[in-house]
Amino acid sequence: AKKSNNKGYVMYKKQQRFSHNQMLKLETRLHDAIINEAFELYYQPKVNLQTNEIDGMEALIRWFDDELGFVAPDQFIPFAEEVGFITDISEWVIAKAGRQVMIWNEQFNLNMRVAVNISPSHLKAENFIERLKNILKANEISPNSLEIEITEMSFLDQNADLLSTITQLKEMGITLAIDDFGTGYSSLSYLKRFPVDLLKIDRSFIHEMYKNEADVAMVAAIITLARALDLKIVAEGVEEYKDLLLLRDFNCEFVQGYYYSRPLTIEDFSKRLIEKGIQ
């Protein structure tokens, strides 16, 4: 069941299954939200550990519904996948985030990329590449400014179509990142077969790794693997200075996390850029 706190936010427990009535309600509200573009994007800085400067950002969707209150993406994104709304939502995200990074790059004379999360079902949609090209063109978004994050789940059924899609993304100049790396069920063989650029180490390994030898060993091993395969590394969910120090020791290239910044509104992100870098 849902719980309302005193701010009127509706909070669903993670992984909780919805009742039939809740699903109907959610589906109606989500459908309305898509039509009315009732979403917002927040942007979390990705920081270069060597220079301490903002290198780029990840776009993260937010939905504040008039009736339901705040619904977390962990809740409505899986639902949107199930009911077939995910492509509409993701295409909105790509257009919005892509446009925004072009504006920032021009305004601050930078060359940043924005990362967007793409669900497996969207990636595998038949006309994915064609529609993506149209969105980039219509919004004057350079493919070089776009990074696509997919999880290992996308590689569960590795097939020729997927290889072709990903190869086409690369040919367009789009950067490809593996999200939540280390938590998927896929074998590592896809790293050899697919032209991936970047691994994002899941925050379950990073968070308080300084307290846990096994986590430190895993992170060190992932970074070694990435180096050998010529992949860049982003450590996600860095909250503690002690974890940051370990990542520095390992020469990890990029970090994201509350230690540097939570996801920000456009206005707050712009302020960070004006302050030039982050510290």
Binding interface with ligand C2E (CB under 6 A) = 44, 60-61, 72-74, 77, 90, 93, 117, 119, 179-180, 203, 237-239, 256-258, 263
Could you say which of 55, 152, 179, 240 contacts Ca ion (CB under 5 A)? Answer: 179
Contact status: 145 vs Ca ion (CB under 5 A): no
Q: Is the CB of 145 or the CB of 256 nearer to ligand C2E?
A: 256
Taking residues 91 to 120 in sequence order and writing x for each that binds Ca ion by CB under 5 A, - otherwise, the string is: --------------------------x---
Q: How far is the CB of 209 from ligand C2E (least distance, A)?
A: 12
The entry of Ca ion, ligand C2E, none that residue 44 binds, CB within 5 to 8 Å by partner kind: ligand C2E
Contact status: 149 vs Ca ion (CB under 5 A): yes
Stretch of residues binding Ca ion (CB under 5 A), selected from 101-109, 131-139, 234-242, 252-260? 234-242
Q: Is the CB of 72 or the CB of 110 nearer to ligand C2E?
A: 72
Q: Please give, one letter per residue, the 3-state secondary structure of the chain.
A: CCEECCCCCEECCCCCCCCHHHHHHHHHHHHHHHHHCCEEEEEEEEEECCCCEEEEEEEEEEEEECCCEEECHHHHHHHHHHHCCHHHHHHHHHHHHHHHHHHHHHHHCCCCEEEEECCHHHHCCCCHHHHHHHHHHHCCCCHHHEEEEEEHHHHCCCCHHHHHHHHHHHHHCCEEEEEEECCCCCCCCHHHHCCCCEEEECHHHHCCHHHCHHHHHHHHHHHHHHHHCCCEEEECCCCCHHHHHHHHHCCCCEECCCCCCCCECHHHHHHHHHCCCCC
Q: Is the CB of 73 or the CB of 182 nearer to ligand C2E?
A: 73
Q: How far is the CB of 157 from ligand C2E (least distance, A)?
A: 19
Q: Is the CB of 36 or the CB of 240 nearer to Ca ion?
A: 240
CA–CA–CA angle 198, 201, 203 (5° rounding): 145
Q: Is the CB of 10 or the CB of 235 nearer to Ca ion?
A: 235
Q: Is the CB of 57 or the CB of 238 nearer to ligand C2E?
A: 238
Q: Following CA atoms 58, 258, 152, 246 in sequence, which dihedral angle do they give, to the nearest 10 degrees?
A: 120
Q: Is the CB of 59 or the CB of 244 nearer to Ca ion?
A: 59
The entry of Ca ion, ligand C2E, none that residue 257 binds, CB within 5 to 8 Å by partner kind: ligand C2E
Contact status: 152 vs Ca ion (CB under 5 A): no
Largest CA distance in the chain: 51
Stretch of residues binding Ca ion (CB under 5 A), selected from 10-18, 35-43, 47-55, 141-149? 141-149
CA distance linking residue 91 with residue 248, whole number of Å: 36
By CB under 5 A, name the binding residues for Ca ion. Answer: 117, 149, 179-180, 236
